[in-house]
Amino acid sequence: MKVLLVDDEVELVSAMAERLGFRDIDADWTDNGEEALKMAASTEYAVAVLDMKMPKMSGLDLMELLAKDHPTMKYVFLSGHGSETDFKAGCAAGCSYLIKPIQIEDLVAKIQEAQG
Amino acid sequence: MDIYEKIRPKFWDTDSGTGPGKNLFNYRRIWRIAIVILAVVALVPLMVMACIDYNVTQRSLESENLLRTARTTSNTRRTVAYFLEERTNALDFIAQHQGLSTLRQSQTLKRVFASLKNSFGGFVDIGIIDSQGRQVAYIGPHDFLGIDYSGQEWFTGTMERGTYTSDVFLGFRDEPHLVVARRVRDEKTGEDFVLRATLDTGKFNAILSSIDLPGGGDAFVVDTQGVIQTPSREHGDVFSKVDLFLPTYSERTSVNQILAKDGTDYTVGYAYVRGTPFIVLIVKKTATLMEPLETIRMELLWILVSSIIVILLVIVGVATYMVNKIYIADQTRARTLHRMEHTNRMASIGRLAAGVAHEINNPLSIINEKAGLIKDLFVFKKEYAHDDRLLSNIQSILDSVTRCGKITKRLLSFARHIDVEQDSIEFKDLADEVVDFLRKEAEYRSITITMDIPENLPPFVSDRGKLQQIFLNLINNAFQAMNDGGQLYIAARKITENRLIFSVDDDGCGIPEADMKRIFDPFFSTKKKRGGTGLGLSITYGLVQELGGTMAVESEVGKGTVFTIIMPLQGPHKA
């Protein structure tokens, strides 16, 4: 099972990928939307973990673009902002929503849940 | 001084301050203007009324005096005329009743004289003079029988006119007397005789002196030449010329006001007594007559003065009360505005805090992940000491903590209560600090912020907190006006030795011409529905003024807006 991590904070996303690796989840990561689209095009990911707020392209925007080419892909959103509107947008898209900082176990659970 | 402290109104010692609102808050000026206007409006009609009233009273008193004098004069004239007429008629009666031949008999004349004295009184003597002027019969205290009167004026006057009333004169007896005479024709001989009686001047004088003249004054009789006939109190002795001007003959009583030679103003009533050479004079001092006016004037003055004092007291009281109310209202308004400013500032801080919380969450997540990773490494890899990766991970935790610290400090520097705090400020630092808060939002919205601030800009002394708020408000406003992907241009320059100019230039929606005048007004907002209070720019404007700067705006709809602030290098010194 391949997981794609997208967050503008490189340090965060790299550490997260490595920790998921310890838990037998094969995670690729990137810090921007364009790169994520390229990676998704070449590799089949089951779940995408997206940060809500990123420069240029937000998590929701990226999800829409990814959803066009990869209809089966599931999404988990991360946000540092406790904003209600973001929460509603995330939930409306029918995906999981986690508020940073997160517990890695919660994330693993969400990924597994999303994957079905 | 204690009483003064108590009654002194609150607004008295307020500083009117400087600037455009100077007259608006000069309470003493408002107070003075109110008092002057109220006093003029209230006192001028009062004084006009008092003057009119005084004049009317004076005029009515004068006319009343003239009327009263005229009445007294007429009455006196009537009394005098009646006195003389009565006696001449008595002579007529005697002449007709007795017949001249009978009267010439000494016994008869004596009897007649005695009954005249008893019934009428005032007779001194009685005599009969023949047509040659020789006294042929006489009854009286003197021995005047046989005296020749042919040269006397009264004799010729009587022979011509048939009746005569003389002046008061001394005559042969050398004491003042007056004479009434009748021409009588002897039926038998057809010869003319004169029946003559002397009247007692004492009786005559008594008539005049008995007149009751209110407020003093003189009643006396002069002849047509102005020679005084009866004693007067102030206008000369008997037989001296009166010191008053005599009017020409008139049937009617006349009253004139005359200025005597010594400067006294007299009110004089004249009446010519018909058929005699007498003029009755009633002389009163005008000043004495007008004495009631003095009382009225004093009363009027007293009422006027007390009214003026009461009105002035009331006006001053009311003006003080009202201005005090205005002052208190202004104070309340200022406090309310200040509270709103504070609320607005708190709202800014709240927004900032939310933003900052978001910013802190990212580094905290990293700390979390890195710490978790270290834990994982320990758990999964079973190796620790001298591990470079472990060290670099620890380092990255430290870096993140530092970042948190920085953001927290900035938050605190914003949230700090903004007192008057003079600080030496590098504008570059200030701008960086403010822009850093909004940099994330700018990134998300792809807004490019360009800063054009020279390195060699001199530091200036001002209130850091206020300046931060000014720039934060301006940049926030600019962000709200801009679309995503806009350009914000912040510049600073030194324009003179002691002034700096800053500008915040956006390419947003711009401000319509109609709104330009109102943008600095409190509560003016174009986005009220979206939660704008309309206080942001008004407070910004207030803050700039407080720091001694000026603020200007240029805008073009659709092209953008430039806010320009000119700030002194040395801020205002506050006491």
Q: Cis omega before residue B568 (within 30°)?
A: no
B276-285, B404-413, B430-439, B506-515: range with lowest mean pLDDT: B404-413
- Using CA atoms, how far residue B266 sits from B69, B189, B234, B382, in Å, is 11, 56, 12, 141
Residue of B nearest to A82 (CA): B358
pLDDT tens digit sequence for B4-37: 766 777 777 765 555 555 566 688 888 899 999 9
Say yes or no for a CB contact (<8 Å) between B369 and A19.
Answer: yes
Q: Which residue has the higher pLDDT, B26 or A15?
A: A15
Say yes or no for a CB contact (<8 Å) between A15 and B357.
Answer: no
Phi/psi of residue B499, nearest 5 degrees: -140, 145
Mean confidence (pLDDT) of chain A: 84
Q: Which two tokens stand for residue B96?
A: 């007709």
User: B534 by DSSP, 3-state: which?
Assistant: coil
Q: Which candidate from A15, A54, A100 shows the least CB-CB separation from B373? A: A15
Nearest to B479 by CA among B452, B501, B512, B507: B507
User: B347 by DSSP, 3-state: which?
Assistant: helix
Note the pLDDT of residue B417: 42
CB of B178 within 8 A of CB of B169?
yes
CB of B457 within 8 A of CB of B495?
no
Which residues of A are less than 8 Å from B376 in CB distance? Answer: 18-19, 22
Q: Which two tokens stand for residue B229?
A: 């006939």
A10 Cβ under 8 Å from any chain B Cβ: no
Q: Which candidate from A18, A53, A100 shows the least CB-CB separation from B444? A: A53
CB of B42 within 8 A of CB of B185?
no
CA B572 to mean position of chain CA atoms = 43
CB of B539 within 8 A of CB of B344?
yes
Q: Which candidate from A16, A53, A54 shows the least CB-CB separation from B369? A: A16
Which residues 15-74 of A are in CB contact (within 8 Å) with B?
15-16, 18-19, 22, 53-56, 58
A87 Cβ under 8 Å from any chain B Cβ: no
| C-alpha neighbours within 13 Å on the C-beta side of residue B240 | 11
Note the pLDDT of residue B530: 58
pLDDT tens digit sequence for B331-358: 888 878 877 877 777 777 767 776 676 6
Note the pLDDT of residue A36: 92
Which residues of B are less than 8 Å from A102 in CB distance? Answer: 365, 368
Note the pLDDT of residue B143: 78
Q: Write the secondary structure of chain A as one string of H (helix), E (strand) and C (coil).
A: CEEEEECCCHHHHHHHHHHHHHCCCEEEEECCHHHHHHHHHHCCCCEEEEECCCCCCCHHHHHHHHHHHCCCCEEEEEECCCCHHHHHHHHHCCCEEEECCCCHHHHHHHHHHHHC
User: B489 by DSSP, 3-state: which?
Assistant: strand
Residue A93 pLDDT class (50, 70, 90 cuts): low
B135-139/B123-129 β-pairing: antiparallel
Note the pLDDT of residue B418: 43
Buried b (16+ CB within 10 A) or exposed e, B199-233: bbbeebbebbeebeeeeebbbbbbbeebbbbbbbe
The burial class, CB within 10 Å (0-12 / 13-18 / 19+), for A32 is middle
CB of B565 within 8 A of CB of B501?
yes
Say yes or no for a CB contact (<8 Å) between B361 and A102.
Answer: no
pLDDT tens digit sequence for B82-135: 888 888 888 888 888 888 778 888 888 888 888 888 888 888 888 888 888 888
* Nearest-5° Cα angle at B529, B528 to B532: 35
Note the pLDDT of residue B574: 46
Nearest to B371 by CA among A21, A15, A44: A15
Say yes or no for a CB contact (<8 Å) between B446 and A104.
Answer: no
Length of chain B: 575
Say yes or no for a CB contact (<8 Å) between A12 and B357.
Answer: no
* Nearest-5° Cα angle at B438, B412 to A99: 80
Residue of A nearest to B371 (CA): A15
CB of B534 within 8 A of CB of B527?
no
CB of B25 within 8 A of CB of B16?
yes
Average pLDDT rounded to a whole number, residues B186-201:
83
Nearest to A11 by CA among B81, B154, B29, B403: B403
Q: Which candidate from A19, A55, A82 shows the least CB-CB separation from B444? A: A55
Average pLDDT rounded to a whole number, residues A6-28:
90
B123-129/B192-199 β-pairing: antiparallel
Owner of token pair 């995670």: A27
Note the pLDDT of residue B47: 92
Note the pLDDT of residue B108: 86
The burial class, CB within 10 Å (0-12 / 13-18 / 19+), for B271 is buried
Which residues of A are less than 8 Å from B400 in CB distance? Answer: 11
Q: Which candidate from B365, B372, B446 shows the least CB-CB separation from A100? A: B365
Note the pLDDT of residue B302: 92
Say yes or no for a CB contact (<8 Å) between A15 and B372.
Answer: yes
A116 Cβ under 8 Å from any chain B Cβ: no
